[in-house]
Structure 1
Amino acid sequence: MIATLAMYDWPQVRAEHDRFWQLIRTAMADEGIPAPQDLTRDEKLWELWESPDLLLGQTCGMPYRTRLHGQVELVGTPDYALPDAPPGHYYSVFVTRADEPGEAVDFIDRTLAFNGQDSQSGWAAPQNQMAKAGLRFTHTRHTGAHRDSARAVAAGKADIAAIDAVSWRLIDAWHPELSGTLRVIGHTDPTPGLPLITARGRDTAPLARAVASAITALAAEDRAALGLTGLAAIPASAYLAVPTPPPPSQDVPVN
């Protein structure tokens, strides 16, 4: 069996995630569910998400709606208590260099740094936000991670990035030397957050109970470090309703 919470499992909060997993594991034992001793790390995410041995994992909304839907079961969505977002929802903050004037729309013809073309927060959210005004980012730079997108903007290799608000909170907490060189110039509309999933055919109800129980049992300092406040039940239809923009290779300017 496999358990992974890789999406926000930064080195600085690895110990907190380990303690969180042990609470989940204990709660699963109370539900009669055997679970692995430790979280799986440093493996390819798609292999973990699509494994029939996946007991619990966390994915992103865009991979879920474009490829994983129908192949996995939704367990629930962790709530990180972001301001101006419903429970279990999140958004991306647009960032640029601190000395750059303007709002996000003013950067439409400049370079967008994005972590991956299958990222809801880094790719789909900014493109969907601009599409509301009939616009699209067409100058892009792939970075591989939100932290690297922030670094690309700070270094002048890109001009704007859309950073998952939970990741931005981690950047601000653990890399103030980076966040201090940037400023937030807006955010995207909230969408369903990063869901917990399990392999197809597994009963999700006891897994959801175990996770919710573990969140409640978190020590105050671990809760603060992880930003977790609860587990939301968001239907698959809410994830599937989010538009999927074309990938960079198919991106064309809007007249």
Structure 2
Amino acid sequence: MIAAFPMYDRPEVAATWDRLWHLFRAAYGNGPQQQTRDGDLWDTWKSPDLLLAQTCGFPYRTRLKDKVALIGAPDHGILEAPAGHYCSVVAAHRRCEGQNLPALDGATLAYNEPLSQSGWAAVWRHFDQHNIRIGPRLQSGSHRESAQMVAQGTADFAALDIISWKLMERYDDFAADLVVIDMTPPTPALPFISACYQDVERIQKALRDAIQTLTSGQREELYLQGLVTLPQSSYEAVPNPPAP
């Protein structure tokens, strides 16, 4: 069986993600000894051996929804979005402090990848609703690299998953060179999934138990306070953007 928590896994919090996995495995009563960290994400998400992983809402609704089972969405315990939801921060260089969204009309966007809800779909929708043009688009490969491109002046702004951004604020010095200009409306948070044949209710219970067995400090470290059950339709309702 395969397990992976890849979306917010970085060296500073890796041990706590491992702790969550071991607690889940104990509550579930089965599963691999370790998470898969070096595999291709698409291979992991689509594997018939998948027990538990986290994906992004955009890949889920466009390519995975009929191939995997939806387990639920994280309650991040943040003020910026309700439980089971998240948003993107629109981040620019700190020299733009005090400016508002129209100041980015025609500006260069750094985005992590074309199938990212927070890095592309959310900012496309937000700018479209405000009649603001997105200028040239530069693909970075990750939210962290997008943020670095803005800090270095290679791009004018980036849309960053708010949890990724909070982790950058906590651990990365370059975050001090950025300022949040705006935030996108909340959408369903990055879903936990499993292979279709898995026992969803059993996995949900084991994951809830594992999260609650973490210490309060560990839950705050992961921005993970609980598991929220959302219907597939809540993800399907989010508009799909054109390709960048």
Q: Secondary structure at the match of 1:134?
A: coil
What is the identity, as a one-letter code, of the residue corresponding to 1:37?
Q
1:91-116 C-alpha deviation (Å, 9 max, x unpaired): 00011111125222321201010000
Question: Following superposition, which runs of at least 4 residues in structure 1 exceed 6 angstroms of deviation?
Answer: none
TM-score computed with the length of structure 1 as normaliser: 0.93
Q: Secondary structure at the match of 1:11?
A: coil
What is the identity, as a one-letter code, of the residue corresponding to 1:5?
F
Query: Paired residue for 1:57?
Result: 53
Query: Paired residue for 1:10?
Result: 10
Query: Paired residue for 1:240?
Result: 236
TM-score computed with the length of structure 2 as normaliser: 0.97
Q: Structure 1 vs Structure 2: percent identity of aligned residues? A: 45
State the distance in 2 between where 1:138 and 1:54 align. 39
1:119 aligns with 2:116: yes
Conserved 8 A contact 2:93-2:178: yes
State the distance in 1 between where 2:116 and 2:84 align. 17
Query: Paired residue for 1:197?
Result: 193
Equivalent of 1:226 in 222, 226, 238? 222
1:76-128 C-alpha deviation (Å, 9 max, x unpaired): 11111121311110000011111125222321201010000000000000001
Counterpart mapping for 1:38-77 below 5 A: 38-77=34-73
State the distance in 2 between where 1:136 and 1:49 align. 34
State the distance in 2 between where 1:227 and 1:153 align. 24
How many correspondences in the alignment?
Answer: 243
1:62-83 C-alpha deviation (Å, 9 max, x unpaired): 0001100110000011111121
Counterpart mapping for 1:158-237 below 5 A: 158-175=155-172, 177-237=173-233
Counterpart mapping for 1:150-161 below 5 A: 150-161=147-158
Q: Give 5+ residue unaligned stretches, structure 2.
A: none
Deviation at 1:138? 3.6
Conserved 8 A contact 2:88-2:159: yes
Q: Secondary structure at the match of 2:130?
A: coil
Deviation at 1:168? 0.4
State the distance in 2 between where 1:242 and 1:136 align. 20
Q: Secondary structure at the match of 1:99?
A: helix
1:114-145 C-alpha deviation (Å, 9 max, x unpaired): 00000000000000111112344241110000
